[in-house]
Structure 1
Amino acid sequence: MDVLIYMKLVWLTIAHAEDRIIGGAEVVPHSIPYQASLQIRSVHYCSGSLINPSWILSAAHCAKPPYLITVVLGEHSLSKSDGNEQYYKVARLILFPYYRYTTFRHDIMLLKMNKPAKQNAYINPIAIPTSDKTLPANTLCTVSGWGITAIYSYSLSDVLMAVEVPIISRYKCNRPSSYGGRVYPFMICAGYRTGGKDSCQGDSGGPLICDGVIEGIVSWGISCAHYKYPGVYTSVSKYIKWIKNKIKRF
């Protein structure tokens, strides 16, 4: 039986419909102060994370021409402004040089905003890992976004959602009954054996947070919240040197 591999973004042709985290709940407004909404013509299509006053970390498959992208920080409701939002243009977009669209290898990018964010109680960077490491299986992490709530839905959640998911070993994720070798060492799997909780379309580029550090970036998966196919994330710890080098250089 054929299965559909999802990049967890929202195509702009369907972005007017509603999408969100599956099996999660609305977060306390502004309790995730590093979460960014990437928008085109005021329409959310991907997420990102503020890791430096001037820099957003996201997924490479969320790349669009920089002049089209608006970075919105301090966002909670996509349809209502509460006065805490900040809007920035993208001055520079940097893809990891070996990114492969067909296999999701090295699905990571950096966006430099046109000016530093004004940090406050609602907008603050998240820490990146300090060393390359393998997260122990069953480590509980949190993924957040405005993505879909149900498979085959096309509706963006109006409010920011989050769900906790445990890390799954790459060995288990690569079993023949699961991803069969498609999960590489620079990727992380997270989800439940029974399924039901996951990131999905509209959540692409968003953060997977473990112990207060961004360890993963929402990347891809087969279906969403499927018991055989957990969410797959880019492992941020594999790119520490690249991230620091680009921030320092530009």
Structure 2
Amino acid sequence: MGHCLQTTILLLLVLTIRDTLEQRIIGGQEVEPYSIKYQASIQHNRNHYCGGTLIAAQWVVSAAHCWRPSSLIQVVLSEHSLASEEGFEQVFDVEKIFVHYNYNYRTFNNDIMLIKLSTPAQLNANVQPAYVPTESDPEMTGSTICTVSGWGVTRIYSYYLSPVLRAVDINIMPNCYYYYWRITDNMICAGSPFGGKDSCQGDSGGPLVCDGRFEGIVSWGIGCANPYFPGVYTRVRNYARWIDWVMNNNS
């Protein structure tokens, strides 16, 4: 009996770690096509595996844990349905990837990377960059409502990505260290105090936008849509200077 209990606990731990590493829309809905103009799909062999955020014509931000060799991935803008070619997609090879120099793959601290596209995107009605906040912008509070978007799974424990872009509104959850012991100042928590709304597998690297500002990157968490374990996001405003430095020195 004791051995079976230990085995069960070990299996649950493995599943939890797997969910945390794959990371992550639960409780949301399909968006109006092309309404989230900064959303990017990062693809390997034309298969979506992570999200990203356009911040300038030739630059996309994603999570460092989404890294793959630049020669093996493409970035797609103006994407809505992953299942069909709709004629509005802009597909780019990747010139170079800049993973944050202090990224820690064990703790997910500094989970951010910059992707330089092979050519600048065509900015139009469907494609526009997101605004990157700085330290001078108003701080977020527990009443701040944000939108997270992506093609991630729509049901807990599912392995099937959403064929269309979806989004859900969630709240900033202060005092993130109440939920996780390894939280740093470079992370923010967001979700619902009742659970049921969250990013999930396939949403990793995607945008969390609050009051029109690109505040977070889908990074990690325990499970999905759990009221006791909100999603954890990389705090983008902490990296505004690093982002500017990389872009200015690699133009």
Tell me the TM-score normalized by structure 1.
Answer: 0.91
2:221 is paired with a residue whose SS is strand
Return the offset for 1:183.
1.3
1:237 and 1:187 map into 2 onto residues whose CA distance is 10
Residues 163-190 of structure 1, C-alpha deviations (whole Å, 9 max, x = no match): 0000001x2x212xx21x2111110100
Aligned partner of 1:196 in structure 2 is 196
- The 5 A counterparts of 1:27-42 are 27-42=31-46
1:95-244 paired onto structure 2 within 5 Å: 95-131=99-135, 134-169=139-174, 171=175, 173-175=176-178, 178-179=179-180, 181-244=181-244
Counterpart residue identity of residue 64, structure 1? R
Using the TM superposition, give the Cα deviation of residue 9 of structure 1 relative to its aligned residue in structure 2, in angstroms.
Answer: 4.2
Query: For 1:236 and 1:146, how far apart are their aligned partners in 2?
Result: 21
Q: Counterpart of 1:13?
A: none
Residues 134, 238 of structure 2: 8 Å contact kept: no
Give the RMSD, CA atoms, in angstroms: 1.4
Tell me, yes or no, if the aligned pair for 2:20 and 2:223 is still in contact at 8 Å.
Answer: no
The alignment partner of 1:87 has SS state of strand
Question: What is the aligned-residue identity percentage?
Answer: 52
Q: What is the alpha-carbon distance in structure 2 between the residues aligned to residue 110 and residue 217 of structure 1?
A: 12
Retained in 1: the 8 A contact 2:141–2:172?
Answer: yes
Q: Deviations over 1:8-35 (max 9, x none)?
A: 747xxxxxxxxx9000000000000110
Q: Once the two structures are superposed, what CA deviation does each residue of 1:197-229 show, in whole Å capped at 9, x if it has no partner?
A: 000000000000001110000000000000100
Larger Rg: 2
Q: For 2:156 and 2:210, how far apart are their aligned partners in 1?
A: 25
Please name the residue that 2:4 is paired with. none
Unaligned runs of 5+ in 1: 11-19
More helix per residue: 1 or 2?
2
Separation in structure 1 between the aligned mates of residue 129 and residue 152 of structure 2, nearest angstrom: 21
Deviation at 1:7, TM superposition (A): 4.1
Letter in 2 for 1:165: I
Q: Structure 2 unaligned runs (5+)?
A: 1-8
Give SS of 1:174's match.
helix
| Residue type at the aligned position of 2:177 | N
Tell me if 1:56 matches 2:29.
no
- TM-score of the aligned structures, taking structure 2 as reference length: 0.91
